[in-house]
Structure 1
Amino acid sequence: MNVKKAVQEIENDLIAFRRNMHMFPELSGEEYQTQKRIEAFLDERAIVHQRMAGTGVVATIGSGSPVIALRADIDALPIQEAIESDFKSKIDGVMHACGHDIHTAINLGVATLMKHFESELNGTVKCIFEPAEETYGGAKIMVEEGVLENPKVDAVLGLHIMPYLDAGKAEFRYGKLNASSDALKITVRGKRGHGAYPDSGVDALLISAHILTAIQSIVSRNTSPLNSVVVSFGTIEGGERPNVIAEKITMTGTLRALDQETRDKTKMLIKKIATEQATSFGGQAIVEIGDDYLPLVNDDKITRICLAVAEQTIGKENMQMKEFPSLGTESFSFFSECVPGMFYHLGTRKPGAPTTSLHDERLDPDESAIASGVELNVNMVLALMEELS
């Protein structure tokens, strides 16, 4: 099969879909029209699909094992687009500022070519279109609803556009790639008293200050300097008046870790430090820690196979290895926690263009990345089918 030629034949259709999706972005959990457009695209090509996680879609092509899944996210962000174009967002205050329209077009391209070559496939392909990646993570719901079962998925692939990389290039990493994320809330309770007579109360504000300081020792003294963990608090609220000892203080923050062991250990230490510090001052601390995004760790075997494919597809000169993992999150981790997976970054910077960031009102990705992503992903799927069969 001539993948490059097949990609060229459908490239214009994919760009047209992307531009339409860009003009009509929908926020997390509200991707109703986006879902219908994806389904219509698949229907036109006789590709079997089903709805999942409310506004998500899963397309299935081929039969038998191995089963390879590919994930694309479909939701937009509450951002006002600043770039002028013929396909600028028509929805006020909503924009595809994270490239999910590019991701969706790539996955539709993969589904199209897999259907075209279906009789030659040595296995099954699942193209997953995940809703609400930017908020509660539709991936978790899709996994709970059985997206990786019936047929059971053997490997999963995902990508994200990266505006600091030139179009035509791709970035990879073995092992740890993205951090876990957990919301933190600590409520400290003391006893109200007059500021002139501090001994008559239990100062919740003073307790909170000691807790905040002590928790940072988890990073500096309880975590290997060769590992990474972040504990950041962004809000602290409480107290009544300048001359009244605070009875209640609430602090909220975030915990980031790059592996599950460090994540679990840090949660335990946060609870221990907060409760014991509060008790030592005669107060009480109630610690609430969410169980949010998982760490994303690429599987070595799947990564090795995909790196070999990338070298053949785009050339070693267009590949780079990411030196350090990111403390940002990625809901793809819910898939790769269950089955071996590999997530990589696809360049979208236009020639000579300044570097922007994701979630930027000026994000303007090079649409040639769509064809690059389709070709890479199709070749990766074919190689994985051969290696895992």
Structure 2
Amino acid sequence: MVFTVTASPSVDTSRIRLQIRALQPQLSVWRRQLHQRPELGFQEQFTSEFIAAKLREWGIEHETGVAQTGIVALVKGDRPGPVLAIRADMDALPIQEENEVDYRSQHDGRMHACGHDGHVAIALGTAYYLSQHRDFAGTVKFIFQPAEEGPGGAQPMVAAGVLNNPDVNAIIGLHLWNNLPLGQVGIRAGAMMAAVELFECTIHGRGGHGAMPHQTVDSILVGAQVVTALQTIVARNLDPLQSGVVTVGKFEAGKASNVIADSAYLRGTVRYFDPALANFFDRRIEDIIAGTCRSHGATYEFHYHRLYPPVINDGAIAHLIRSVAEDVVETPAGVVPDCQTMGGEDMSFFLQEVPGCYFFLGSANIDRGLAYPHHHPRFDFDETALGLGVEIFVRCVERFGTNTHPLDGISR
């Protein structure tokens, strides 16, 4: 296994205010309680009840049952100002956990293998701190979102009106990121994460005896040529200055070594940053499949699904978060600019509606064995990142309500 993190971090937390440092043990407790009870998309009943119980305990105004299991909460400052939303996703993955820790998943086949338990803990910590320290301008709307891993909870929450009443002026969110060492912050104005699109194709040939191929239309041969030809899309049809990925992740055909299969099934994913490519890949993929099948006398069925658009960060909000991060993190190269990944996120649906920024908070610690990649059965992270996340969020709230930073296009 190869990790992208190559150095063990040493993080000075002195820039985290004392009240948030004191909250760090509780953040870890919350995260571990959630880690033990992972739930899949739109099934986050325990998680939702856990969050709601904390909000009730702290006297924070909130609404439950939004887009099935989502929660929206409001914390108002002591003076008027803009509305900043903070989004945290809640769901887990269908993965069997292999970590031998006392807080390991209690549900077979389910695991928080992407850090969403930490995202909830950070948002809860931020909500608690702000409810106790309301010396900021404006209102903070906390959006606890279900089903980021699939089938997607952001779009239903937008449709449910979570960005209204009161109207959100901007939205921020973070992802704990084991591709960066603890304490580093990855951020970028513009496209940061890719669109996620899926395709599937069944190729219909004519089966027969493996020793008599002239009597058949070999669906495996056709499928293999389709897989190869699809790789020409990025290499020869896309502008070399643009980024794109076409991956066939599943190829199923045949049952015996001496039988030519009459059908083959392909399934894959497409990734890109430029929204202008939204209608490009599906047409080109089908053109290649159709042409290849026609040349061999095969037929096909093709389905294409646009899952998430690219994550496009607003420049002014990215500047705000970067300025905060530069004041908080003290590791070498603490802020990683122009950070991008072909991974996808349905935070993109919120960013299509209001200006905002999604960023990465480094959470890997190789010395402690906490550097397995996301979606790995041994994924875990350094919980020191939880306090860092709360501090960054709180400072963003405090600065967003002032006029000390240019927030172009943000209505006040």
Q: SS of 1:352's equivalent? A: helix
Moved more, 286-295 or 324-333: 324-333
Moved more, 4-13 or 133-142: 4-13
Q: 2:173 aligns with which of 152, 158, 167?
A: 158
- 1:7-46 equivalence runs, <5 A: 7-46=20-59
Query: 1:363 corresponds to which residue?
Result: 379
Aligned-pair CA distance for 1:26:
2.4
Query: 2:226 corresponds to which residue?
Result: 211
| 2: CA distance, partners of 1:227 / 1:190 | 36
Amino acid in structure 2 at the alignment position of 1:308:
S
Aligned-pair CA distance for 1:127:
0.8
Judging changes above 3 Å, is the alpha-carbon distance between structure 1 residues 249 and 46 closer, same or farther for their aligned structure 2 residues? same
- 1:131-210 equivalence runs, <5 A: 131-192=146-207, 201-210=216-225
Aligned-pair CA distance for 1:206:
3.5
The question of whether the paired residues in 1 share the 8 Å contact of 2:86 and 2:141 is answered with yes
| 2: CA distance, partners of 1:324 / 1:350 | 19
The question of whether the paired residues in 2 share the 8 Å contact of 1:83 and 1:364 is answered with no
| 2: CA distance, partners of 1:205 / 1:99 | 39
Residues 19-40 of structure 1, C-alpha deviation per residue, up to 9 Å, x if partnerless?
2222333233322111111001
Q: Structure 2 unaligned runs (5+)?
A: 1-14
Query: 1:98 corresponds to which residue?
Result: 114
How many equivalent residue pairs? 386
How does the TM-score come out when normalised to structure 2? 0.84
The question of whether the paired residues in 1 share the 8 Å contact of 2:322 and 2:335 is answered with no
Amino acid in structure 2 at the alignment position of 1:221:
R
Query: 2:397 corresponds to which residue?
Result: 381
Query: 2:10 corresponds to which residue?
Result: none
The question of whether the paired residues in 1 share the 8 Å contact of 2:182 and 2:365 is answered with yes
Judging changes above 3 Å, is the alpha-carbon distance between structure 1 residues 364 and 186 closer, same or farther for their aligned structure 2 residues? closer
The question of whether the paired residues in 1 share the 8 Å contact of 2:187 and 2:338 is answered with no
Query: 1:236 corresponds to which residue?
Result: 251
Moved more, 187-196 or 46-55: 187-196
The question of whether the paired residues in 1 share the 8 Å contact of 2:325 and 2:335 is answered with no
Q: Which has the higher helix share?
A: 1
Matched, 1:79 2:96: yes
Judging changes above 3 Å, is the alpha-carbon distance between structure 1 residues 282 and 84 closer, same or farther for their aligned structure 2 residues? closer
Amino acid in structure 2 at the alignment position of 1:31:
E
Query: 1:60 corresponds to which residue?
Result: 74
The question of whether the paired residues in 1 share the 8 Å contact of 2:185 and 2:362 is answered with yes
The question of whether the paired residues in 2 share the 8 Å contact of 1:229 and 1:262 is answered with no
Residues 70-99 of structure 1, C-alpha deviation per residue, up to 9 Å, x if partnerless?
1111122332242323x3433344332222
Q: SS of 1:90's equivalent? A: coil
| 2: CA distance, partners of 1:203 / 1:81 | 41
Q: SS of 1:337's equivalent? A: helix
| 2: CA distance, partners of 1:377 / 1:16 | 20
| 2: CA distance, partners of 1:350 / 1:171 | 16
Amino acid in structure 2 at the alignment position of 1:306:
I
| 2: CA distance, partners of 1:146 / 1:341 | 17
Query: 1:114 corresponds to which residue?
Result: 130
| 2: CA distance, partners of 1:375 / 1:159 | 12
| 2: CA distance, partners of 1:121 / 1:88 | 38
The question of whether the paired residues in 1 share the 8 Å contact of 2:91 and 2:147 is answered with yes
Query: 1:332 corresponds to which residue?
Result: 347
Aligned-pair CA distance for 1:377:
0.7
- 1:236-385 equivalence runs, <5 A: 236-239=251-254, 246-315=261-330, 317=332, 319-322=334-337, 325-350=340-365, 352-354=367-369, 355-385=371-401
| 2: CA distance, partners of 1:247 / 1:93 | 34
Judging changes above 3 Å, is the alpha-carbon distance between structure 1 residues 234 and 366 closer, same or farther for their aligned structure 2 residues? closer
Moved more, 43-52 or 138-147: 138-147
The question of whether the paired residues in 2 share the 8 Å contact of 1:81 and 1:93 is answered with no
- Give the RMSD, CA atoms, in angstroms: 2.7
Identity %: 37
Amino acid in structure 2 at the alignment position of 1:212:
V
| 1: CA distance, partners of 2:290 / 2:366 | 55
Q: SS of 1:290's equivalent? A: strand
Moved more, 342-351 or 303-312: 342-351
Aligned-pair CA distance for 1:241:
6.2
The question of whether the paired residues in 2 share the 8 Å contact of 1:165 and 1:348 is answered with yes
Residues 213-267 of structure 1, C-alpha deviation per residue, up to 9 Å, x if partnerless?
2222111100122222111112333457666654433211111212222342111
Moved more, 371-380 or 206-215: 206-215
Aligned-pair CA distance for 1:191:
4.2
The question of whether the paired residues in 1 share the 8 Å contact of 2:184 and 2:331 is answered with no
| 1: CA distance, partners of 2:105 / 2:219 | 48
Amino acid in structure 2 at the alignment position of 1:356:
Y
How does the TM-score come out when normalised to structure 1? 0.89
